[in-house]
Amino acid sequence: MTAIGGYQAPESEPGRLGVHSIGEFVLSVPAPERAADFYGAFGLTVADAGDQVSLSTADGYRWGRVVGGRRKALHHIAFHCFEEDLPRFKAHLEGMDIRLLAPPAGFDSNGLWLMDPDGLAIEIRVGPKTSPDGKALPAALDAEAGARCAPYRRDAGRVRPRRLSHILRFTPDVERMLGFYARALGLRLSDRSGTNIAFMHAIHGSDHHVVAFARSEAPGLHHLSWDMPSLDSVGLGAIAMADRGWKMGWGLGRHVLGSNYFHYVRDPWDSFSEYSFNIDYIPAATDWEPADHPGEDSFYLWGPEMPPEFIFNAEAAQG
């Protein structure tokens, strides 16, 4: 087994420095107008905002934007911190000799901007805690006797994700990314499988992972994961996407690391969006011990055979 790298032991003192949530992602693609079709069908609220397409959940929170670019790539990720922690982050990053950058053109903010080891722009800004403060209880299965519990398919209604759960990225060096995100942003290793994949959570209470890294020959986006209110809503989302022509993907299944039920749908740029339900939750005060899991036992507990395109890094293929 590989040594556990990127590990930060939990501490009880309230002054521990770390981001608490993902605030927003920005994705750059050659044809952003295609995002409206895909993410609208997926269940997000889509709005044109000048040269951008904004992606929100039903509560109105904007989780992402899609902008035009020469090739598909993440443009940046914004992480949220508590207001009192922003000046602490500035001193912390400067003490690590991490160069603070000006915001990219068109993305002015009062946050701190830096570059991660794979060249992705990262923003740390003050914002609401979008990660949950506890594990949501699974919805009870229909159990009424003497009644038909399932509606007609035409009456099922549109399913809508509740929030963004996590982002999984390809990287040439999982260990380097773990070290950076632990030291610079205060994220903590949850679990890993050797040097192939690793998962990190936020220290103020979050899902099993808010970011994850999978080894590949080049950086890239693998998937965006969206939290759903029930297992039924995962299936309804999958069939609704298939009805609209988005049939390529993988699921229904259940993961081992994170424990969530999943169905992935391939997007127009050969990455994925995941319907996810019932992921493990790590409270702020929990002494979660990360482990290095054997590959054959760490991927999925049950589900259909993984299609070969699931591990394809389209951004590496772009050259």
Residue 170 has pLDDT above 80, yes or no: yes
CA dihedral angle for residue 285, residue 287, residue 292, residue 297, rounded to 10 degrees: -70
Predicted confidence (pLDDT) at residue 4 exceeds the cutoff of 60:
no
DSSP bridge partners of 199:
191, 212
CATH of the structural domain 21-131+160-317, one choice from 1.20.58.340, 3.10.180.10, 3.30.1490.20, 3.30.460.10: 3.10.180.10
Instruction: Please state, in angstroms and rounded to a whole number, the distance separating the CA atoms of residues 314 and 269.
Output: 7
246-285 pLDDT, tens per residue? 999 999 999 999 999 999 999 999 999 999 999 999 999 9
pTM: 0.92
Looking at residue 156, its pLDDT comes to: 82
- Tens digit of pLDDT for each residue in 209-223? 999 999 999 999 999
Q: What is the mean pLDDT of residues 85-92?
A: 97
Q: What is the pLDDT of residue 150?
A: 85
pLDDT bracket for residue 37 (50, 70, 90): very high
Burial class from Cβ neighbours inside 10 Å (0-12, 13-18, 19+) for residue 137 reads exposed
d(CA 57, CA 274): 15
Q: How confident is the model at residue 152, as a pLDDT? A: 84
* Residue 203 in tokens: 């220290």
Q: What is the mean pLDDT of residues 66-91?
A: 96
How much of the chain exceeds pLDDT 70, in percent? 95
Residue whose entry in the numeric block shows the structure tokens 């107008």: 33
Within 13 Å of residue 201, how many CA atoms lie on the same side as its CB? 29
Q: In this structure, what are the phi and psi dihedrals at residue 254, rounded to the nearest 5 degrees?
A: -135, 130
Instruction: Read off the tokens for 279.
Output: 């992921």
List residues bridging with 167 in a β-sheet: 211, 224
Helix (H) or strand (E) segment spanning residue 52? strand 52-56
Give φ, ψ of 203 to 5 degrees.
-80, -10
Q: Given this model, what pLDDT does residue 193 score?
A: 96
Mean pLDDT of 195-211: 97
Given a cut of 50, whether residue 9 has pLDDT beyond it is no
pLDDT at residue 319 in the model: 60
Q: pLDDT tens across 98-139, in order?
A: 999 999 988 888 899 999 999 999 999 999 999 999 998 877
Both structure tokens of 189: 């290793």
- pLDDT of 195 higher than 50: yes
Whether the predicted pLDDT of 76 surpasses 70 = yes
**Pairing of β 272-277 and β 220-227:** parallel
Give the confidence band of 14 by pLDDT, cuts at 50, 70, 90.
Answer: low
* pLDDT interval class at 141 (50, 70, 90): confident
